[in-house]
């Protein structure tokens, strides 16, 4: 732990150093991933143990923290609340949006499995009748199974960023699966709220309207997303005050992974932590 690196804006995240062993990392946003970034690297993600360690830092230091960004994990909420009680907790926007993207992908994958199963049945039927199986091919060269597989990245991107071939693929996809188009639009609307709203009150209204749209859609996967947002709405809405994200923590995690791969893994964790602290603390 490096209490001297505490600043008014912190991030908390978890990362794996070796063989799936998780560590909780507290970083100072103002250091921008350079020297002075590490406030603490603590083994494990047990909230009570992490809190116990962080509370050894003087209250006068911990109470200077004004804002702390986290993911949607209840563990991280507990750590932030108990360790930095004066700080406003902000749920990272990208974790919220990722839930919506995952819901769209879940629907796409379910449809793909259906297409694969249908193709298998048609192949078996062709064999039983001693005919050659020839799959139906769309004008862009995709079979139905390929259309669903190749549409993965389209559903992560805004329509304005699609290439001409992706536009054509999307037209075909949404023609045969209108539910996917509705789910895609719901995910994009959530991103639009985050990109355009700069007032907490407006954010609350827009998210409530989006929530109603999700309810009307009846999509099971999006119902899970809306409930997650409902359960964390107070921390999600705090984003609209200063529009801070957990990007600095994610960036720092990427640096750790790059550092780890440079040395082909981590054999001596204490020495690895020593090197990280020398460079970033």
| pLDDT tens per residue across span 121-142 | 999 998 898 888 888 899 888 9
- Dig out the tokens for 212 from the structure: 């109603």
pLDDT value at residue 227: 83
Band of pLDDT at residue 263, cut at 50, 70 and 90: low
Residue-range domains of the chain with CATH: 3-92+245-280 (3.30.420), 94-240 (no CATH)
pLDDT value at residue 264: 66
Strand runs labelled E in the chain: 9-18, 21-28, 38-43, 67-70, 88-91
Burial readout 263-277 (b: 16 or more C-beta within 10 A, e: otherwise): eeebeeeeebbeebe
**Region 245-262: what's the mean pLDDT?**
78
- SS3 label, residue 105: helix
**Region 233-249: what's the mean pLDDT?**
85
- Answering whether pTM is above 0.85, one says no
- Encode pLDDT of 7-30 as tens digits: 999 999 888 877 778 889 999 988
Band of pLDDT at residue 254, cut at 50, 70 and 90: confident
Give the span between the Cα atoms of 242 and 218, in whole angstroms.
Answer: 33
Band of pLDDT at residue 73, cut at 50, 70 and 90: confident
Q: In whole numbers, what is the pLDDT of the chain averaged over residues?
A: 89
- SS3 label, residue 10: strand
- Dig out the tokens for 41 from the structure: 């690297």
């Amino acid at each position: 732990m490096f209490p001297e690196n505490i600043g008014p804006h912190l991030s908390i995240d978890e990362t794996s150093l070796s063989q799936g062993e998780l560590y909780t990392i507290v970083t100072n946003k103002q250091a921008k991933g350079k020297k002075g970034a590490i406030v603490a690297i603590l083994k494990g993600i047990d909230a009570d143990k992490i809190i116990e360690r962080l509370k050894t830092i003087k209250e006068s230091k911990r109470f200077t923290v004004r804002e702390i960004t986290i993911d949607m994990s209840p563990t991280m909420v507990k750590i932030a609340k108990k360790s930095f009680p004066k700080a406003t907790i902000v749920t990272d926007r990208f974790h919220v949006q990722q839930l919506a993207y995952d819901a769209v992908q879940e629907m796409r994958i379910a449809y793909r499995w259906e297409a694969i199963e249908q193709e298998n049945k048609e192949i078996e039927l062709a064999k039983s009748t001693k005919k050659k199986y020839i799959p139906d091919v769309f004008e862009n060269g995709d079979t139905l199974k390929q259309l669903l597989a190749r549409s993965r990245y389209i559903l992560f991107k805004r329509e304005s960023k699609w290439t001409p071939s992706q536009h054509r693929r999307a037209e075909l996809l949404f023609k045969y699966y209108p539910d996917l188009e509705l789910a895609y639009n719901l995910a994009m609307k959530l991103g639009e709220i985050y990109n355009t709203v700069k007032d907490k009150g407006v954010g609350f209204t827009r998210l409530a309207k989006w929530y109603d749209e999700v309810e009307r859609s009846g999509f099971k996967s999006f119902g899970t997303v809306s409930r997650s947002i409902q359960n964390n709405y107070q921390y999600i809405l705090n984003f609209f005050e200063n529009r801070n994200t957990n990007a600095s923590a994610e960036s720092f995690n990427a640096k750790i992974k790059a550092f780890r791969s440079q040395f082909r893994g981590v054999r001596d964790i204490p020495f690895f932590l020593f090197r990280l602290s020398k460079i970033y603390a």
